[in-house]
Amino acid sequence: MGSPARRRSRPKIAHPPRRPKLLLPYWESKHSLQGADNVTQFERAKSGEITPEMKFVAQREDLPEELIRSEVARGRMVIPANTVHLTKRLEPMAIGIAALTKINANIGNSAVTSDEQTELEKLHMAVHHGADTVMDLSTGKNIDTIRQAIIDASPVPIGTVPIYQMLEELGGDIDDMRPQHFLDMCEKQAKQGVDYMTVHSGLLQEHLSLTMQRITGIVSRGGSLIARWMMTHRQQNPLYTHFEDLCDIFRQYDVTWSLGDGLRPGSIADASDEAQFAELHVLGELTRRAWKKGCQVMVEGPGHVPMDQIDMNIKRQMEECDEAPFYVLGPLVTDIAPGYDHITSAIGAALAGWSGAAMLCYVTPKEHLGLPDAEDVKQGVIAYKIAAHAADLARHRKNARVRDDALSRARFNFDWNEQFRLSLDPETARKYHDQTLPQDTFKSAHFCSMCGPKYCSMKITQDIRDMAAAEATNGTESEPVAIQLP
């Protein structure tokens, strides 16, 4: 048995809060913006207003309200909060370099599989395990119904890629698209309450030839569709030429731009190439144009990038896009592990977060292989919670280490239940422990089945400390040995 000192109870920290305890329930402060001059969080921040959403975010992030306002006004932070979704269950959150690193989980059906109930289960799984935003990437049947159910149920911002639903409604042939089709779809989704939309406005006609030597060409679904449209019609990208019209729709509902990276690399060999950076340059121009129109903006990034190029990619995005929040997809740091791409990408995501990426889009074990189910969603979210938290630790974010220290103390004190409680995935931690030592008595045992009682190094360490403490108490502490200098 260990000494009483080892088992001295320390103040337990609450399970790390996913939702802060607020001074006032958020919904009491909701108000209508109809008829207001400044609609978006960006416009209101620039006018000097600290909105209820900014106050809420300040509490969640444990940051001063004025800092949140100034970061939003600077364009370095976004609060994706469609004014329609705000009247429902949305709990505002922030994405930006001053905030904690966020993660996104993608859900949505495909033409082959899934339905409303399954997608709601995935939403629940994602939010339960800590996803900060969720993208509905549905491309199958009943998209409107599924999305409405997701928005109505979701406390986190919902993102979409409007071109997917537009293509469904056009009957599947992108060549039939007219600019008005796309504008109408964005307006329809904005009215539903979508908080941010990925639009591939930065991919231009002149970029297409730059992709010809790539191994994997254009891997973004939206990017490849727009590329095909431009080739067929021999015209410039309509999502670029109608950018200001799209801004007008986004501003009306405070939909946040997620400027899509249609030319992101889809393989290690294609990373950081001319095509990728040509598009990034345009995304910088579009960021400034969206700000001029009063919109909130974040910018999407790669993709597949070897570890030694990740920091350079983040810094280049910050430079090109005036530090608008960077929302990275992974990146995967190797191409050779289908079935484990939640791991290959979480490595890249942790490095990207450390370098300054504001949000990490998860990848599941099914990436490149099939539509993720609820268990895949869980695996992806956990992998990315690890990546985001590791980045926050490396960036010395305020209080980021509190949970690590509490868990480490519980571990050293052999307080197994507390260790499980503080885990990102308590069920799995408990399950693994119980596979070999299921009885309750082992929940305070000073060893586990990995090393066994005789070789438990933490128990041996504690015994050494106990011996030293006993010697000090008895006055038998040995004198320090004098070191003889030559």
Cβ distance to ligand SF4 smaller for residue 457 or 474: 457
Please, what is the minimum distance in Å from the beta carbon of residue 410 to ligand SF4? 11
* Residue bearing tokens 């990925």: 198
- CA dist 329 and 342 (Å) reads 11
Site residues (CB under 6 A) for ligand SF4? 447-448, 450-451, 456-458
Please, what is the minimum distance in Å from the beta carbon of residue 447 to ligand SF4? 4
Measure CA 382 to chain center.
Answer: 11
Q: Which residues contact 262 (CB under 8 A, 6 or more apart)?
A: 200, 202, 203, 218, 220, 222, 223, 224, 226, 227, 279
Cβ distance to ligand SF4 smaller for residue 191 or 431: 431
CA neighbor of 279 nearest in space, from 259, 255, 295: 259
Tell me which amino acid residue 113 is: T
Please, what is the minimum distance in Å from the beta carbon of residue 448 to ligand SF4? 3
Cβ distance to ligand SF4 smaller for residue 457 or 478: 457
Cβ distance to ligand SF4 smaller for residue 439 or 457: 457
Please, what is the minimum distance in Å from the beta carbon of residue 456 to ligand SF4? 3
Strands 95-96 and 77-78: antiparallel
Cβ distance to ligand SF4 smaller for residue 451 or 468: 451
Please, what is the minimum distance in Å from the beta carbon of residue 459 to ligand SF4? 6
Cβ distance to ligand SF4 smaller for residue 277 or 447: 447
Sign for the pseudo-dihedral over CA of 286, 287, 292, 293: positive
Please, what is the minimum distance in Å from the beta carbon of residue 431 to ligand SF4? 16
Long-range CB contacts for residues 413-419, cutoff 8 Å, separation at least 24:
413/2, 413/6, 413/7, 413/10, 414/2, 414/6, 414/444, 414/445, 414/446, 414/447, 414/458, 414/459, 415/7, 415/444, 416/442, 416/443, 416/444, 416/445, 417/443, 418/12
Q: Give strand pairing partners of 226.
A: none
Cβ distance to ligand SF4 smaller for residue 5 or 307: 5
- CA dist 171 and 167 (Å) reads 6
Please, what is the minimum distance in Å from the beta carbon of residue 461 to ligand SF4? 9
Please, what is the minimum distance in Å from the beta carbon of residue 435 to ligand SF4? 13
Cβ distance to ligand SF4 smaller for residue 240 or 416: 416
- CA dist 423 and 74 (Å) reads 36
